[in-house]
Structure 1
């Protein structure tokens, strides 16, 4: 079985569904509220475990109830959490996710422990046993060092820097990984700022599907028309599907089809995590 290490944020998510965002100095009613583990790296690791990929997580939480609960949820989902550290000096990072009826989201984040881990918290033996390293938003120095260590071991690396790509010094990491996951806004910023000729770009176009750019070559998939409920975690589910298919030997076209299916399944359900199984994916693909 392939083994994938995911490195990045482990959060506690509080999701609030509202009919609309309030005007300045206004107020709206919260239609529903739910809490649970989140964070991009944790979400991808969970999705991979659902898809029968041996997944491990490198990240950090606070030494508090939310951190312990988040770890327990991940372990119950089949994720190896041996490399999730507990920081006694700060609390588990909390994200408040506000979801409108269209399924679009806005995020309010509280700083916390999700970047307390360092690259050296991943033992050399764990990296040597990995078939793939997937990094998500994290400290720029940590990301660059992890990518460097993986290159030394010939472990392929993917990176999804997230919505703050233009606010952090991710250049050394971005230009040293094998696969770069970007949405349209992130891609516009990255292509303008960096020389990405050596990277395989996995571009997420939302309802318009996705594509892979590798040098002058392109492979595209149109995606699937669905009724969106909540886009929280859809990009993480997409990444999990793409990586699971790729480490399983799928070609680009198949990997994109699986990734888009996983993203669509996540968008059809509330919350940052949706149970992904190969049975559900194949049924969605009509197979």
Structure 2
């Protein structure tokens, strides 16, 4: 079985379904609310485990009730928590996700303990024990350290830096990444030139386009997939599910077209259900794809 180490944020999410996203001096109605684990690294780890990939999580939570609940959910999903730091006398990061009737999401959050892992806390042996390392948003120096250890050990690295890409210097981690995931907005932030002329031309670049699918640029070819027509309920975690589906396929088949199809299927299934942890099983993905053709 392929083993993937995912590194980055572990949160506790409070999802508020509202009639519309609030505007300045405006008011929105809360139709429902639910709480569960979240954070991109944790979401990807759970999604990979659902897809029959051996997943370990490198991240941090506080030693509070939210951290305990988050750990229990992850353990129930068979995610290895051997590299999860429990920060003493710290609060677990809580994110408030506002989801409108079209499934669009706005996020509020506190700093919390989700970046308590420093470069010195990274266990090189845990990194070297993986077949692949997947980085998500976290402290840039920590991401750089993990990527450095993986690169020196000849282990492939993927990086999905997320919405804070424009505000943080992830250049060192990006330099050691073999696969980079960006959405359209993030791609515009970092790519000023055509792909073939950019600093990303020697690696695989995956651009997520939401309902419009995704495109993959490799040094040798470009692949596109239009996505699947679904009615989104909650897009929270859909990008994480896409990354998990893409990686689970690519790491076992080395087929970029299959990886795109699986990634888009996982993203669509997740967006059609409530919550960031709606990523499907292998059987659910196959059943979904059978219905499309």
TM-score between the two structures when normalised by the length of structure 2: 0.95
Alpha carbons 2:90, 2:113 under 8 Å: kept: yes
CA distance in 2 between counterparts of 1:222 and 1:259 reads: 12
Alignment CA distance shift 1:73-1:96 (3 Å): same
Does 1:36 pair with 2:53? Answer: no
Alpha carbons 2:51, 2:281 under 8 Å: kept: yes
C-alpha deviations, 1:8-36, integer Å up to 9, x for none?
Answer: 00000000001113343332221000001
CA distance in 2 between counterparts of 1:96 and 1:263 reads: 21
Does 1:110 pair with 2:114? Answer: no
CA distance in 2 between counterparts of 1:275 and 1:199 reads: 27
Stretch moving more, 241-250 or 277-286: 241-250
Equivalenced residues, count: 287
> In the alignment, which of 266, 271, 274 is matched to residue 262 of structure 1?
266
Alpha carbons 1:175, 1:199 under 8 Å: kept: no
Does 1:181 pair with 2:185? Answer: no
**Counterpart of 1:161?**
161
SS at 1:285 equivalent: helix
CA distance in 2 between counterparts of 1:57 and 1:23 reads: 36
C-alpha deviations, 1:68-106, integer Å up to 9, x for none?
Answer: 110110011010011111111320001010001110100
**Counterpart of 1:7?**
7
- The runs of 5 or more residues in structure 1 that have no matched partner are none
What is the Cα deviation at residue 197 of structure 1? Answer: 1.8
> In the alignment, which of 206, 210, 220 is matched to residue 224 of structure 2?
220
Stretch moving more, 44-53 or 84-93: 84-93
CA distance in 2 between counterparts of 1:201 and 1:150 reads: 19
**Counterpart of 1:285?**
289
TM-score between the two structures when normalised by the length of structure 1: 0.97
CA distance in 1 between counterparts of 2:223 and 2:71 reads: 37
Alpha carbons 2:127, 2:146 under 8 Å: kept: no
- The runs of 5 or more residues in structure 2 that have no matched partner are none
Alpha carbons 1:83, 1:121 under 8 Å: kept: no
What is the Cα deviation at residue 247 of structure 1? Answer: 1.6
Alpha carbons 2:18, 2:99 under 8 Å: kept: yes
What is the Cα deviation at residue 275 of structure 1? Answer: 4.1
